[in-house]
Amino acid sequence: MTQTSAALRARAEVDLAALRGNVRALRSRVGPGTALMGVVKSDAYGHGMVPVARAALEAGATWLGTATPQEALALRAAGITSRVMCWLWTPGDPWREGIEADLDMSVSGMWALREVVAAAREAHRPARIQLKADTGLGRNGCQPADWPALVAAALAAQDAGEVTVTGLWSHFACADEPGHPSIAAQLDVFHEMLAYAEKQGVEPEVRHIANSPATLTVAESHFDLVRTGIAMYGISPSPELGTPQDFGLRPVMTLSASVALVKQVPGGHGVSYGHHYLTDRETTLGLIPLGYADGIPRHASGRGPVLVGGAWRRVAGRVAMDQFVVDLSGDTVEPGTTAVLFGPGDHGEPTVEDWAEAADTIAYEIVTRIGARVPRVHLGERPEAGPAEDHQPG
């Protein structure tokens, strides 16, 4: 491992062998006719987009998915040639660059179809578009009432050589709550909207609706492609669904810092801004050089767990912008000792789920918010993609 000087303070290690194992574990859950899209939006959920994208492709993902076109174009700029789809378009976004970069571009409404058609005329080549149906999420996507008009306009543009409709797709609202009635209801609506579009003449290469929780628990949602994000990073979509281990997944990120200072303080000493923590006796304090600017939730003040010197310690008092303090209960550790905030849990360290609970949020938010000041250290990178030498799924 190469330690830059920034990584001496703190680092997020990203275990790409674990990521490849997770991709294989997820592939083993879907049928042979179902492709896997590695969702790498938001800097691969904070794990570092390009190395993660490469590792996912090495392990058998054949599509990559991003939210914004800028993220998708960054994958192309890095030399990635797989299918890449992006779904969060804003008026004025770079449709023409997307066409020239062979992106699959989601279209949820008429404004987007108009912009992509105009760009295709300028580029003198058809755009790959995927029509998104709002089957009940109530977020992006085309409402069933507006679907006939969107399908008709897309088919007209296809006949004119301006677009190729490569996919029909949707997204779940509550797939992380097994048995939630909206899951079956959304599948019914999706089947109807697919049937309508296909009857009109759309011949989609891929139909897809499953995110990680649906990939793990709703087999009838897999269709031609599953879009997995969080599970690929070895994190369970929700603690109610199970642990990563229950699904044969291994957490990919380990966040740690080097203890910056250890000192003895008397009882009754206030700790950090606002003095929300008072030492109840003479004790030792350890300074951890990570703060809310690094993505450590201020909401976890007084609660977040850290493994230091062989024991779990809790954040003492408030998380500050760049640092927080733990009460070492009289133990002494050497400055420079590694403090592990979260990791796979193999060595007794907390997990990202423990932090999500401490901050009253979801693990997705913890990993995606790790700040740019924290170097990502990628382990297990395979410079030349060769045959799998990593372990099998499971």
Select which of 196, 233, 273, 364 is catalytic.
Answer: 273
How far apart, in whole angstroms, are the C-alpha atoms of residue 308 and residue 143?
52
If binding is defined by CB under 6 A, does position 36 make contact with ligand PLP?
no
Looking at the Cβ atoms of 240 and 334, the one nearer to ligand PLP is: 240
Token output for 264: 């003895």
Looking at the Cβ atoms of 39 and 341, the one nearer to ligand PLP is: 39
Looking at the Cβ atoms of 41 and 313, the one nearer to ligand PLP is: 41
Specify the stretch interacting with ligand PLP by CB under 6 A; choose among 181-189, 228-236, 324-332, 372-380.
Answer: 228-236
How far apart, in whole angstroms, are the C-alpha atoms of residue 15 and residue 12?
10
Exactly one of 211, 256, 272, 368 binds ligand PLP (CB under 6 A); which one?
211
If binding is defined by CB under 6 A, does position 229 make contact with ligand PLP?
yes
| Catalytic residue status for 132 | no
Specify the stretch interacting with ligand PLP by CB under 6 A; choose among 46-54, 178-186, 227-235, 317-325.
Answer: 227-235
Nearest CA to 337 out of 272, 226, 259 is that of 259
The sign of the torsion formed by the CA atoms of 315, 319, 325, 327 equals negative
How far apart, in whole angstroms, are the C-alpha atoms of residue 184 and residue 218?
10
Q: How far is the CB of 41 from ligand PLP (least distance, A)?
A: 6
If binding is defined by CB under 6 A, does position 212 make contact with ligand PLP?
yes
Name which of residues 40 to 99 contact ligand PLP (CB under 6 A): 41, 87
Looking at the Cβ atoms of 229 and 309, the one nearer to ligand PLP is: 229
How far apart, in whole angstroms, are the C-alpha atoms of residue 47 and residue 62?
19
Name which of residues 262 to 301 contact ligand PLP (CB under 6 A): none
Do 183 and 231 touch, CB atoms closer than 8 A? no
The β-bridge relationship of strands 225-228 and 206-210 is: parallel
Token output for 180: 């939630």
Do 49 and 80 touch, CB atoms closer than 8 A? no
| Catalytic residue status for 273 | yes
Provide the 10 A C-beta neighbour count for residue 336: 10
Q: How far is the CB of 108 from ligand PLP (least distance, A)?
A: 11
Using DSSP, how many helices (H) and how many strands (E) does the chain show?
12, 19
Looking at the Cβ atoms of 279 and 368, the one nearer to ligand PLP is: 368
If binding is defined by CB under 6 A, does position 39 make contact with ligand PLP?
yes
Looking at the Cβ atoms of 108 and 283, the one nearer to ligand PLP is: 108
Name which of residues 151 to 180 contact ligand PLP (CB under 6 A): 171
Q: Buried b vs exposed e over 120-149: b needs ≥16 C-beta within 10 Å?
A: beebeebbbbbbbbbbbbeebbbeeeebee
Q: How far is the CB of 227 from ligand PLP (least distance, A)?
A: 4
How far apart, in whole angstroms, are the C-alpha atoms of residue 112 and residue 91?
7
Exactly one of 227, 318, 376, 378 binds ligand PLP (CB under 6 A); which one?
227
Q: How far is the CB of 257 from ligand PLP (least distance, A)?
A: 26
Phi, psi of 63 (to 5 degrees): -125, 155
By annotation, the residues acting in catalysis are 41, 273
Residues of this chain that bind ligand PLP (CB under 6 A): 39, 41, 87, 171, 211-212, 227-231, 237
